[in-house]
Amino acid sequence: MVRWDNVIGLAVLVALWFAQSVQAQTNAFPSGVVSGDVTDQAAILWCRTAEPQTVRLEVATEESFAAPQFSTFLTTSADQNLVARQDVTGLSPGTGYFFRFAIQPGGPASPTGRFRTAPAAATAQPFRFVFSGDSDARAQPFVVMGFAANEQPDFWVWLGDIIYADVPARGLGVAKELEDYRAKYRQNLGDPYIQAISRAAPVWTGWDDHEVINDYDGGDPEPYVAAGQIETGYRAFFENLPIRAQNVEGDRYRVYRSFRYGALAEFFILDERQYRSADAGRLGAFGFGSLDPYGYFLPSYSPDFIRILRDPSRTLLGHEQLEWLKHGLATSTAQYKFIINPLPMTSLLIFPEDRWDGYDAERYDLLRGLDLLGVSGVIVLTTDSHANTFNPDVTYYLRTALKATFSNGFAIPEFVAGPIGTATAGSVLREAARNLLGADQNPLAGLVAGLLGDFAEWRVSLANGLKFLDSNKYAYLLVDVTSDGVTLTHRGVETGATESNAIIRDLYITRLNAAGRAR
């Protein structure tokens, strides 16, 4: 006869053991485990311990780790931010792997992470990935990334503003010293949903401005941004993320790089901070205005300011990165070429200094160069603007507003996604309108402020020929790639959603054909 009291007692003991085991993992490995920069034969595997330790890293093709394919011992130290990192090479293409770390001797093991290597360059294997960015700790927990983890992506791209170093959040102030920056990364890497997607799939990372300070110009730094602070922000980024050092002499912190994903895709991750010229707003002749080609939004910027925007001597990418990108796109044999782009090429019409709008000549140089070379299959993926958009052709605005020359039929689509969690573009725009109109004291002014926000979004959409714009969701882009075409799904949750009531919804679905053009 079954003694149910014994069965229940055993179940309670098992549950207690499991809870203690999970707590031991969390205490010993507070940032979880992360894999990154995974190619067809190599992967960077990363963890951070709670105190200096020796850890054993194991990599296996089965979750039991019965026969590890790779094993090594690593040591963490305070001067290296308690990080253990290993570039594991000699892996097989298109293969799923599991990995874990364990405190030595006899200590707890980390959670188990998984990654899949890229297919061999000649293999046209379908795949999917998740794309987003802009993760402000004030918006934690990052609930939307829990849904992203459940998409079973082959990898994900965390593009820029991975931390908001210059914003106080949840007990941490503005980062200025190395330990401040490290604490900001610990804060975001400790988020349970970031840990969930990091366990589920490898990440490719790139930076924007908030890894150092808002809107900084790395090639010609603002007087109030110390060179040492920029260096500190870069060091913290490389410590805390599984990024493979490029080992380029004289360019220690190069993050622009490319990776191949079988025969179908090649990805070009850009750096639009480190090498850029001073933004146009620092060069005078600013004034308040608009780049609206029809003049219905706001008065136009002054001619002097427009000349600065179009000055060909100014650069967003730097000469070397620009030539690297052109050459890489022109010579790539991949069916699709994804530009992983931190700042929108789509014009937002106002405050253009910090985006591609502010480096107009270089934007045209890049796009016209691809046009003349006959490069096809280019798809631009962008973060930064805290909104979700689909622009079927980033040359549309240049043709209509700037009368720029492009070949008939040439078009490059841009998809903007995010944020993971921060003030959305829509909320900022409408709050600015409310403040301008004094809406807190006048309910009618609040209604007008909302209408102004709607009008501004309509003007941006019209000027660029946008097919979709949603400016008020926490979101990501889910991308499914096959030889027949690419399906890109903006998916998001309401900004006020909590862990208990968040619902993920499709915001917009775009299908591109085998040439990367909208169907």
DSSP string across 392-454:
S-THHHHHHHS-----TT----EEE---SBS--HHHHHHHHHHHHHTTTT-HHHHHHHHHHHH
Give residue 191's pLDDT band: very low, low, confident or very high (50, 70, 90): very high
Is pTM, for the whole model, over 0.85? yes
Do residues 208 and 341 make contact, with C-beta atoms less than 8 angstroms apart?
Answer: no
Q: Name the pLDDT band for 221 (thresholds 50, 70, 90).
A: very high
Strand order in the sheet with 70-75: 70-75, 54-60, 96-104, 113-116
| pLDDT reported for residue 60 | 98
d(C-alpha 167, C-alpha 455), whole Å: 30
Q: What is the mean pLDDT of the chain?
A: 93
CA–CA dist 242, 43 (Å, integer)? 9
Q: What is the pLDDT of residue 493?
A: 98
Q: Check pLDDT > 70 for residue 134.
A: yes
* Six token digits for residue 235: 């060091």
Q: Which two three-digit tokens encode residue 258?
A: 């490319």
Percentages (nearest 5) of helix, strand, coil residues in the chain:
30, 25, 45
Confidence of residue 20 (pLDDT cuts 50, 70, 90): very low
pLDDT 10s digits, 254-301: 999 999 999 999 999 999 999 999 999 898 766 778 999 888 888 899
Dump pLDDT digits (tens) for 345-365.
999 999 999 999 999 999 999
Reading the block at residue 468, the tokens are 């979709």
pLDDT in tens, 62-88: 999 999 999 999 999 999 999 999 999
Q: Which structure tokens are listed for 79?
A: 């001067």
Q: What is the 3-state secondary structure (H, E, C) of 71-139?
A: EEEEECCHHHCCEEEEEECCCCCCCEEEEEEEEECCCCECCCEEEECCCCCCCCCCEEEEEECCECHHH
Give me the amino acid identity at 358.
G
pLDDT of residue 6: 54
pLDDT tens-digit readout, 409-430 = 999 999 999 999 999 999 988 8
CB atoms within 10 A of CB 319: 10
pLDDT of residue 444: 79
Whole-number pLDDT of residue 4 = 53
Distance CA 502, CA 421 (A): 13
Q: Domains in the chain, please, with CATH?
A: 30-117 (2.60.40.380), 118-512 (3.60.21.70)
* pLDDT of 433: 79
DSSP 466: -
The answer on pLDDT for 9 being more than 60 is no
Collapsed DSSP state (helix, strand, coil) of residue 317: coil
Count other C-beta atoms under 10 Å from residue 120's C-beta. Answer: 15
| Four-residue CA torsion sign, 229, 246, 339, 310 | positive
